[in-house]
Structure 1
Amino acid sequence: MSSEAIKLAKRFYLDEWTDAMLYKKLAEWERNEKIRKEFERLAELEAWHAEFWKSFLEKRNEKPPKPGISRLTLWGVKLLRKVLGPGSVASLLEMGENSAIEKYFRFLTEYSTELSAEERETLRRVILDEIEHEKFFREEEKAFHVENIRDLVLGMNDGLVELLGAVTGLSAVYPNNPQIVGVSGLVVGVAGALSMAIGTFVSVRSQRQVKESIRSRMEVLFEVSPEKTVEELKEKLTEGGLPEEIAEEIAEKLKTNPDAVKRLLLPETEENEVRASLYTGLSYLLGVVFPVTPYFLASNSLTALVFSVLLAGSALAIVATLISLLSGISVRKKVAEMVATGLGAAFLSYLFGRLMEAVFHVSAL
């Protein structure tokens, strides 16, 4: 077997072993009996997956790597579990499951001829297990409103990046007046939080109203002409890739079940616009705190800027690390990506501030 396949198998073994330990810890921390049992079941499945890859390597006279889980990973999982609840953990773990499904399918496709019939069948079962995990995660997302936790992460990230850019640019204009920079940053931050919250409220509410309007129209259409509604369902199934004869058969069987037809044509959304706007606005304000606070404590703007960059960069790194630890994304890459984009925006803002100072001579000395 190729060295690349062996390298992937070793990586899969470590990932599955880590996931098994992670689910086991989550089960130990969980008070909800239903969720705890599900985490225990997932831990057993992941342990079986890890054993498959271990056996896979040993059959090829390859020594499996020594597994281990870092304290940082456990700390990140436990912190996120306590602060945001099991739904947030489920949401981020789903990203890792999606990644595993794609990697395993690619491995099965590319190295099929190098696998025994038993190994191919076992790997198919592993892929099906990972897909089954997604079902549990989707159910947990609905129960814990995980879509709003994503609003929180994005809102905080926006607040950090935008306000860091704003105070950095203002620091170039007011180098010896940090209070003006701080107050200006707060004004911009509050205005940004309100704008984000209102924008989220209007967007989510509009989407819900449009769907409700379409759903009402469909109810009328089903009462007036069930055949037309079934025809729309057939078109949707065909567009989704089903052969026309199968789509027609499904549509005919469902024409006596209007509720099923309406759910297929227009799935319901459970996102609440008030909750979404509050998560977005408040998390944006939380992001504002880090880059703005130093300007109320330092004697000059340039000193404050150093601490502002350090605080904002640290906050971005923590958010990126927590996401990476649970989603299977490289911690280094995710941290580098978020910190680089945030600090890059701040640097460009500083240059723009210096340009405005030179052009309009507005520096307050």
Structure 2
Amino acid sequence: MTDPRVSHDLSLARTLILDELFDLSLYRKLRDITRDPDAQRILDALIAVEVDHLAFWKRFFAMDIEHLDVRRSIKLRLLTLTCRLFGVTAVHLVLEAIEVHGVRKYLTLWTQFHGQSLGAALHDILMDEFKHEDVLVTSLTERKINAEKIRNIFLGLNDGLVEILGAVSGFFGAFGSASLVLIASSTTAVAGALSMAAGAFLALNSEQEVRATESAKKRFLGEISESTVMAEPPLASAAFVGIAYLIGATIPVFPVLLGADTAVFSVITAGLMVVIISTILSFLSGMDITRRILLNLAIITVAVSVSYGIGLLAKRIWGIAL
């Protein structure tokens, strides 16, 4: 029989074992800090499942790892601290986020190694995920992570930050005056927030009307009709997008409000917030955190460069001087 350590990448083996060790360590930490009986019961069941999973991967790869690496140790401390500070709600959110990450990771690997010994092993782990862990976590959290809310918040924050950072850069390139940049950026931010909120409301309201028409047609034809009630009402969705946009827009404007006379401080502040926001939302929704951070940093780099260049060009063409 072929040794799994030879047939599979050792780095993948190490990753799978460390991920299970991290989940097990996290569940044990959360079990120690939570006082909610339901959460304790679910965590006890999850710990038992993770103990089996960890032992399985160690046997499969004939590799024994007892300690987390530095990156996972830091992540464990941060998540534990967050749950200590924000209580049982944070515990619920972390449990669901970890579950989403686990399912996506194993599904991707199962697709990649389908038909191989590793694929068969992943199949059994996924059955545990779907039949036990996912059911346990869902019974506790009742799906507090709403995909539409994540989308709306991320859409608003990202658009507000990128658009107003671009505006601040362009205005500095054209005017060079902090007071004019502040006025122009603030009015642009308010107009942008209203526009984003209105766009979200009209789009979802139109979708709701189309669904209602399709549902009425199916009822007339005697067909089974799905519910026309949307997970996120148009008005609530519009409010989420608009408020998130304003919050995102204040990030690049804030350094100017404090007296910055160049766009450099706005760029640095926006870059740091992009990393923080991308990390949090990517973790909660199960997205690839590194990919999301790099993509958003690339976007704001392009936005700043193009906007500042347009501002300088406008200053040269129209001779703006203040």
The two structures have a TM-score, normalised by structure 2, of 0.82
Matched letter for residue 285 of structure 1: L
Which structure would you say has the larger RCO, counting Cα contacts within 8 Å and 6 or more residues apart?
A: 1
Structure-2 separation of matches of 1:125 and 1:65: 23
Structure-2 separation of matches of 1:290 and 1:193: 14
Q: What SS does structure 2 have at the residue aligned with 1:170? A: helix
The aligned counterpart of 1:298 is 259
Structure-2 separation of matches of 1:338 and 1:346: 12
CA deviations over 1:84-114 (Å, ceiling 9, x no partner): 85665466435413422324414652533xx
Structure-1 separation of matches of 2:206 and 2:36: 35
Give the counterpart of 2:106 among 101, 106, 124. Answer: 101
Matched residue count: 312
The aligned counterpart of 1:171 is 172
Q: Which has the larger radius of gyration?
A: 1
Q: What SS does structure 1 have at the residue aligned with 2:221? A: helix
Point out where structure 2 has 5 or more consecutive residues left out of the alignment: none
Shift of 1:157: 1.4
Bigger CA drift: 279-288 or 71-80? 71-80
| Contact 1:182–1:295 (8 Å) recurs in 2 | yes
The aligned counterpart of 2:13 is 9
Identity of aligned residues (%): 28
Structure 1 residues 277 and 327, CA gap change in structure 2 (3 angstroms):
closer
Point out where structure 1 has 5 or more consecutive residues left out of the alignment: 223-228, 230-260
Structure 1 residues 40 and 316, CA gap change in structure 2 (3 angstroms):
farther
The aligned counterpart of 2:231 is 270
The aligned counterpart of 2:193 is 193
1:75 aligns with 2:78: yes
The aligned counterpart of 2:184 is 184
The aligned counterpart of 2:161 is 160
Structure-2 separation of matches of 1:351 and 1:333: 27
Matched letter for residue 158 of structure 1: D
1:347 aligns with 2:305: yes
The two structures have a TM-score, normalised by structure 1, of 0.73
Structure-1 separation of matches of 2:220 and 2:81: 50
CA deviations over 1:109-135 (Å, ceiling 9, x no partner): 2533xx6xxx94x54321112234456
Summarize the alignment of residues 282-297 of structure 1 with structure 2, pairs less than 5 Å apart: 282-297=243-258
Shift of 1:199: 1.3
Structure-2 separation of matches of 1:73 and 1:323: 17
Cα root mean square deviation, aligned: 3.2
Shift of 1:20: 2.5
Structure-1 separation of matches of 2:134 and 2:99: 6
| Contact 2:96–2:143 (8 Å) recurs in 1 | no
Shift of 1:164: 0.6
Matched letter for residue 243 of structure 2: L
